[in-house]
Amino acid sequence: MVIGGGRCRSLQLLFVFILLSLCMKPAVGLSTGDEDADIKCIERERQALLMFKQGLIDEYGHLSSWGNEDDKKDCCKWRGVSCSNQTGHVTMLNLQFRSYMPLRGNISSSLIGLQHLNYLNMKYNDFGGKQIPAFIGSLKNIRHLDLSNAGFTGRVPYQLGNLTSLQYLDLSFNFDMLSKKLEWLSQLSFLEYVRLNQVNLGEATDWLQVVSQLPSLTELQLRGCNLPSVIASSSVSFSNSSRSLAHLDLSLNDVSNSVYYWLFNSSSSLVYLDLSSNKLQGPIPDSAFPNPTSLSYLDLSNNQLVSVPKSFRNLCRLRALYQDSNNLTDLLPNLFLKLSNCSRDTLEILQLNSNMLRGSLPDITLFSSLKELHLYDNMLDVLYLNNNRFTGTLTKSIGQLSQLELLDVASNSLKGMITEAHLSNLSRLTYLDLSHNSLILNFGSGWVPSFELNIIRLGACKQGPQFPKWLQTQNKFSELDVSAAEISDTVPNWFWDLSPNLYYLNLSHNHFTGMLPDLSQKFTAYPPEIDLSANSFEGPIPPIPLTVTSLILFKNMFSGSLSFLCQISDEHFRYLDLSDNLLSGELPNCSKNWQKLTVLNLANNKFSGKIPDSMDFNCMMLSLHLRNNSFIGELPSSVKSFTQLTVLDLGHNKISGIIPAWIGDSLPDLVVLSLRSNNFHGRVPVQVCHLQRIQVLDLSQNNISGTVPQCLNNLTAMTANKSSNAMIRYPLRTDYYNDHALLVWKRKDSEYRNTLGLVKSIDLSSNRLYGEIPEVTSLVGLISLNLSKNSLTGPIPSKIGGLTLLNSLDLSKNMLMRAT
């Protein structure tokens, strides 16, 4: 394979070198008496190395073979050191160890003593933000210099420009490393490999001028360098290095369309080109990829390209094309035509996720070597597939792709029925994602597929009403999604033992019935995420795998207590949603398991007793829903420790006491606070007005007295009429958990799930508030204000008319007067 040839070569070098130094080691132990004859090490260089070692902190003993003891005399046998077997000079210093076992400390200038060094590698060490020492520039024989991933900071010393023998230079992935000019590179005419990833070249306007004149340049990596844009001009191009430049990575910069003018016209030698995450916009000019081109790897993802150019027809060596997350609106069949002219037998990976590609999924058997096809999140359909020149239907053409390993066409508008005959030849398939289309899967009950899948994602593919029996033939899968598949069945017992690798199980939104078996010994490979929500499972919640990370069981008929909860280990446990079941009893006192919980939703059950005060120190909790149970007692002060809490819904319980003042100061991220329908008394604490992000404040149906605080006017999030994000959601492993809340909207309960982040509402109704309504003129973002059923007096504030977004205003059942 040509891809990454440069990298392979240097790896090989390194490998040979490591082998050599491994082979040499035993010689030290074996050698007897007549040692001095063997010793090649030059004393002056030995001292230089020892002094260099003195400056280092060697926590992992990498340099334990470096020493003064008799059996360590020969520095040419030290780990990482190689000498010339003719002159005895130290020629190579290879200090690359594992990234998590770095050397630290200082780089002593004694290294200057190693004037014959031609190889210096310090990759993966940690020099804690020091600058690259300028004296390295005086090691003039160095050909290979690797100071990448080594914790250096600051300016690249221009003295490196004295290393006139340099062929390989890697300064990538340090911190805040900077070079204001690249002029220092320009004299290094032997340079073949230049890797300056993440070196800030924002001011180095000469970069292109310099690198384009390096006559031997083979590989140039400038990922994330903040490259300044280069003005199109005929004087800059890669024409002088065009014979050699094979690998070019300019990803993660703000490179714009002008790149075409100096790049494509002169780069027929390019094999690997990465322009991902830049500012390429609109169409690529048709002249971009001149004929012929050796391009094998092309990454254009994360730009704003709108189409693929005609010149894709010339990519006769193309093996991988990545063009995800652009604005491609091509008809997929046209795109395939362009690509298949020339790369039909070479293309292995085609990745076009998250575009706006239209049309049908054409005959992909055009590409005889295709291994991966990613078309997730586009606008594909198959409406006019059957009667055109593409042979067969979507499914038949898939069926002939016997090399295919990955098929991902999720989230399109594909329609039609897939039968076992259509998948029977895909014996290499390991990844199948057909989710969120309008596909019907119709497999016979005795079907034995020829593939063994790792990833099975069939969400919203209709497969019911029976449980998909073909799954019994699969026992390597780690992810299984058969959510919303219209299955009305029990889960057969054999299912739970099918795959020991399973860590993502989504059976949600079907009509599964029956009880769950003891699951504590299943899913043991990796912390599992289990979503069985929106079914009709019943009985107690069984023992669950101890390492569970998400347990989402809402909308079922589970009953009994939460006794299973105390076995779960807190290490991975993040999401627990048991809402809308028939669970009862008190919350167990095993708060230790809740220390990293992010979402706890127990709403709409029959829990009772006090909310335990022991779930302290959880600062990860984002969402706590206990609505509609029978909790009693006061709001426990442990909630104070949920310092990132975003949604707190305790409505419809029997919680009493005052609304604690700390709610305003300890929970600064609250967006939704609902204490509706409880027994809170006392005043609304003014600290509530410190909640800068609050958008839903519902304290209705309590016994709250006192006046409506004037400071409500300070609720910043409600003063903005711009909306925040529509959804309040938190990341699951592969999806999001959408938070939601029940609000009373025009006297009706309404659930807000996809638009919760847009709602801005204050409800203080059905309390014992008195006094006048304050001027809440700043709350221009407010959509609903309900102060009804209190004892408010005085006039209706005249400026309330300024709240122009207000959609629902209820001041009824008070003792208000009309304004005069």
Q: Alpha carbon of 592 to those of 84, 444, 644, 645: distances in Å?
A: 61, 48, 18, 18
Q: Copy the structure tokens of residue 598.
A: 């992010």
Q: Copy the structure tokens of residue 40.
A: 């090649």
- Between CA 617 and CA 643 the distance in angstroms is 9
- Between CA 5 and CA 11 the distance in angstroms is 10
Backbone angles phi, psi at 10, to 5 degrees: -70, -35
Number of residue whose CB is nearest ligand NAG: 399
The window from 37-45, 366-374, 630-638, 683-691 that contacts ligand NAG (CB under 6 A) reads 683-691
- Name which of 396 and 462 has its Cβ closer to ligand NAG: 396
Among 12, 64, 87, 304, binds ligand NAG (CB under 6 A): 304
* Residue 123 is a binding residue for ligand NAG (CB under 6 A): no
Pairing of strands 247-249, 623-625: unpaired
Among 316, 525, 661, 809, binds ligand NAG (CB under 6 A): 316
* Residue 618 is a binding residue for ligand NAG (CB under 6 A): no
Which amino acid is residue 516, in one-letter code? L
Residue 64: exposed, middle, or buried by beta-carbon count in 10 A (0-12, 13-18, 19+)?
exposed
Of the CA atoms within 13 Å of residue 363, those in its CB half-sphere come to: 14
**Best CA proximity match to 616, nearest among 637, 599, 631:** 637
Q: Tell me the helix, strand and coil percentages in the chain, rounded to 5.
A: 20, 25, 60
* Residue 396 is a binding residue for ligand NAG (CB under 6 A): yes
Among 306, 379, 717, 727, binds ligand NAG (CB under 6 A): 306
* Residue 295 is a binding residue for ligand NAG (CB under 6 A): no
The minimum distance between CB 820 and ligand NAG, in angstroms, equals 28
The minimum distance between CB 815 and ligand NAG, in angstroms, equals 26
* Residue 179 is a binding residue for ligand NAG (CB under 6 A): no
The minimum distance between CB 490 and ligand NAG, in angstroms, equals 19
* Residue 57 is a binding residue for ligand NAG (CB under 6 A): yes
* Residue 732 is a binding residue for ligand NAG (CB under 6 A): yes
Pairing of strands 56-57, 104-105: antiparallel
Residues 539-568 that bind ligand NAG (CB under 6 A): 550, 552
The minimum distance between CB 818 and ligand NAG, in angstroms, equals 29
* All residues at 6 or more sequence positions from 9 whose CB lies less than 8 Å from its CB, including other chains: none
* Residue 483 is a binding residue for ligand NAG (CB under 6 A): yes
- Between CA 575 and CA 531 the distance in angstroms is 10
- Residue 446: helix, strand or coil by DSSP? coil
Size of the site for ligand NAG (CB under 6 A): 63
The window from 1-9, 146-154, 503-511, 759-767 that contacts ligand NAG (CB under 6 A) reads 503-511
- Name which of 198 and 457 has its Cβ closer to ligand NAG: 457
Spell out a b/e string for 200-219, using b for 16 or more CB atoms within 10 Å of the CB, else e.
Answer: bbeebbbbbbbbbbbeebbb
Among 223, 313, 625, 729, binds ligand NAG (CB under 6 A): 313
Per DSSP, what are the bridge partners of residue 534? Answer: none
- Name which of 274 and 363 has its Cβ closer to ligand NAG: 363
* Residue 137 is a binding residue for ligand NAG (CB under 6 A): yes
* All residues at 6 or more sequence positions from 34 whose CB lies less than 8 Å from its CB, including other chains: none
* Residue 589 is a binding residue for ligand NAG (CB under 6 A): yes
The minimum distance between CB 730 and ligand NAG, in angstroms, equals 11
* Residue 459 is a binding residue for ligand NAG (CB under 6 A): yes
The minimum distance between CB 568 and ligand NAG, in angstroms, equals 15
* Residue 138 is a binding residue for ligand NAG (CB under 6 A): yes
- Between CA 251 and CA 302 the distance in angstroms is 10
Among 735, 772, 775, 810, binds ligand NAG (CB under 6 A): 735
Residues 418-457 that bind ligand NAG (CB under 6 A): 421-422, 425
Which amino acid is residue 737, in one-letter code? Y
Which amino acid is residue 639, in one-letter code? V
Among 371, 509, 555, 740, binds ligand NAG (CB under 6 A): 509
Q: Copy the structure tokens of residue 131.
A: 């600058």
Pairing of strands 672-674, 696-698: parallel
DSSP track, 500-521: TT--EEE--SS--EE-----TT
- Name which of 77 and 422 has its Cβ closer to ligand NAG: 422
Residue numbers of the site for ligand NAG (CB under 6 A)? Answer: 55, 57, 85-86, 105-106, 134, 137-138, 159, 162, 212-213, 235, 237, 239-240, 260-261, 264-265, 281-282, 285, 287-288, 304, 306, 313, 316, 327, 341-342, 396, 399-400, 421-422, 425, 459, 483-484, 506, 508-509, 529, 531, 550, 552, 589, 604-606, 614, 628, 686, 689-690, 711, 714, 732, 734-735
